[in-house]
Amino acid sequence: MRVKCVGLGKSFGSKRAVNDLSFVLEPGVVTGFLGPNGSGKSTTLRLMLDLDRGDGRTLFDGKPLTEYASISKIVGTHLDAKLFHPQRSARNHLRMLAAESRVGNSRVDEIIEYMGLKEVAKKRAKTFSLGMSQRLGLAGAVLADPKVLLLDEPANGLDPATIHWLRDFLKQYAAMGRSVLVSSHLLSEMELMAERIIVISKGELLANESIDSFIRRNQSFALHVRVDQPDSLQAILLNKGIDVQREGEILKVNMSDARALGDMCFDNSIRVWELYEQRGSLEQTFLELTSKSEEYKIGGM
Amino acid sequence: MSVLLFEWRRISTLRSTWILSVIAILQAVLILNLPFLLAEVPESATATSLNDVMPLVIIPVFIIFMSTIVAAAFGHDYRHGTIRTSLSLFPNRFELLFGRVVVAFLFTFVIYVVTILAIVATIYAWSSVSGGLQWASFWPAFLRGLLYMTIYNLGVIAVVMMTRIQALGIVAPLMMSLAVENIVLLTLGNRYAWLGEYFPYSQGLNWALGFSNDFAANSGTVTDVFTSMPPSFLISQIVLFGFATFLFQKRDTS
């Protein structure tokens, strides 16, 4: 199912939390949703589900959610690890959610087993650890086998083995033609989990593309070069307005075209000993991109 | 409709729902039995008939337990943030509100009926009690209690929806009924005697308890129950609920 968000917007008082945000979630793809704290990720998810009243609209295969008969077969959500009544048992919580789509108790038990919740199924949810709560939230999201999954920080509190399981699960889920949107602060994990990313900051869209293209497009000083006349090359590059940093014998050049840099060295009779592309991580690129616009920066010690 | 099943599972899977219901029934039966239990010779206890005692048994205390169950319909959701879960399943807010009100009110109706049956059984158990059941006056008394509970709870659910605070939904209407309006009447009643006629909660309570002059004069039929109902009580609760519905449709969940 294709999910199209058009012009999503939301203000809290005078602060614009989300501003004219438009993007599309394609089926068969896990899309990561990234942004610094307070950038508007959770607000965007709530706007998509019409939980918060704001501007814009979200269409699921061209129709708003309210036009579908059974919502949980269309979109499964996990917006917070603790969104359940603490006195209700895990099984009863899932049975309650199952009522919307008329999913039977056998499916509830199947999901409980699948999510590794069998031992605690009859225990009250208030006794659950954060990891268990996350699993219960995920169980609720996938209970009716929805065509779209919207997950807000589903990996928080999970142990490494469960994170690994979650990654495989979401990839498999998307591979069956479903659309998956996952917001997370675990950028290294996101790099392994998602194919595409949507990056927002201060409620505005910064990027909506594949992870590879995002890194390539936003990475600074991607080319590293070692030459016989580093001073000369540095001067030439600076003359041409190209950022360059020197680190010992290595020059880090803010260019993406290795061939052009090689030619430039050749034209100026500079001998190249080493020239390679340093591919940055998603985390590094994300931090570089958002550092300027981040609202709540952590102070230095 | 799946929203009704969802709501039934929501209300029935909470232990507090059943604990409150059992206490509500037991306390009503206990209050009714007190005169007989305290009398040395039970037959000498003052004779009673259902329509005389029922409003006194049902209304003052029973209503608190029932309003707590009704207030929890939205109170729990706002307290634990699960309103987001509910509304992501039922994005049509009117549908969720409809299901929630219908199931909560049906549930309190069933507990009300069970309580009445328990009281009737008790009266028959004291077989020597003079008077016994007077069926002609049973139905007006039954209806009066039911209507009062339903209209009162409409206000309870409205306060919770507006304030998102479950406790306020229980306490505010109770304080209005038992204290606030009476205090205002005591202080201003001499100068503005007409004021009392427009105070919804005290008017409603008097009507439910059978203290209303209009009702006492025409206490015989089911029709009289409706015609004697104080309009200020009914209208105020409907207006309150209407405003709460409007806010519920417009506001964010966060």
Cα(A123)–Cα(B86) distance, rounded to whole angstroms? Answer: 22
Q: What is the pLDDT of residue A108?
A: 96
Question: With left for phi above 0 and alpha for psi between -120 and 50, is residue A102 left, alpha or beta?
Answer: left
The amino acid present at B39, given as its one-letter code, is A
The CA–CA distances, whole Å, from B97 to A99, A150, B107, B251 equal 16, 24, 15, 14
Answer yes or no: do A92 and B9 touch at CB < 8 A: yes
pLDDT at B241 over 60: yes
Is B81 in contact with A80 (Cβ distance < 8 A)?
yes
Asked if A86 has any chain B CB less than 8 Å from its own CB, the reply is yes
B88 to chain A: closest CA residue: A49
Rounded average pLDDT over B25-53: 66
> How much is the mean pLDDT over chain A?
89
- pLDDT tens profile A228-242: 999 999 999 999 998
Q: Are strands A196-201 and A3-12 parallel, antiparallel or unpaired?
A: unpaired
Q: Which of B8, B80, B87 sits opposite A86 (nearest CB)?
A: B80
Our CA angle for A80, A86, A91, nearest 5°, is: 90
A105, A190, A109, A122: which is closest to A156 by C-alpha? Answer: A190
Percent over 90 (pLDDT), chain B: 50
Whole-structure pTM value: 0.85
pLDDT for A301 beyond 70:
no
CB contact under 8 A, B85 and A99: no
**CB distance B6–A99 less than 8 Å?**
yes
Lowest mean pLDDT among A115-124, A265-274, B128-137: B128-137
Which residues make Cβ contacts (< 8 Å) with residue A121, sequence separation at least 6? A89, A90, A91, A109, A112
How far, in Å, CA of B186 to CA of A159, rounded?
Answer: 65
Q: Is the pLDDT of residue A298 over 70?
A: no
Quickly count: other Cβ atoms within 10 Å of residue A152's Cβ: 22
Asked which of A210-214, B5-9, B82-86 is least confident by mean pLDDT, the reply is A210-214
H or E element at residue B38: helix B15-38
pLDDT, residue B228, reads 82
Please judge whether B90 and A77 are an interchain contact, meaning their C-beta atoms are less than 8 angstroms apart: no
What is the secondary structure of B181-225 as a DSSP string?
HHHHHHHHTTT-GGGGGG-HHHHHHHHHHT--HHHHHTTTSHHHH
Q: Is the pLDDT of residue A300 over 60?
A: no
Per CB distance under 8 Å, which residues of B are interface residues toward A?
A: 2-3, 5-6, 8-10, 13-16, 76, 80-82, 84-85, 87-92, 250-254
Higher pLDDT, B207 or B135: B207
Q: Which residues from B are below 8 Å from A97, CB to CB?
A: 6, 85, 89
A56-65, A83-92, A180-189, A233-242: least confident range? A180-189
State percent of chain A over pLDDT 90: 60
| pLDDT (tens digit per residue) in A179-205 | 999 998 778 888 888 999 999 988 899
Q: Is the pLDDT of residue B218 over 50?
A: no
ipTM of the complex: 0.85
For A185, residues 6+ apart whose C-beta sits below 8 A from its C-beta are A153, A156
Mean pLDDT of B92-112: 96
Choosing among A83, A124, A138, which should be mutated to test the B contact, i.e. which has the most B CBs within 10 A?
Answer: A83
Residues in chain A within 8 Å Cβ distance of B85: 77, 79, 83-84, 97, 140
Q: Quick check: A101 and B2 CB within 8 A?
A: yes
CB contact under 8 A, B253 and A88: no
Each residue of A137-168: pLDDT tens digit?
999 999 999 999 999 999 888 888 888 888 99
Model confidence at A247, in pLDDT bands (50, 70, 90)? confident
pLDDT bracket for residue B108 (50, 70, 90): very high
Check A53 against B15: CB less than 8 A apart. Answer: no
User: What does the pLDDT read at residue A77?
Assistant: 95
B53 vs B57: CA distance, rounded Å: 6
Interface A–B counts its CB contacts (< 8 A) at: 86
Give the tens place of pLDDT for each residue, B166-208. Answer: 999 999 999 998 888 888 888 887 788 788 788 899 888 888 8
- Which of chain A's residues have a Cβ under 8 Å away from the Cβ of B92? 66
pLDDT tens digit sequence for B48-60:
555 566 666 677 7
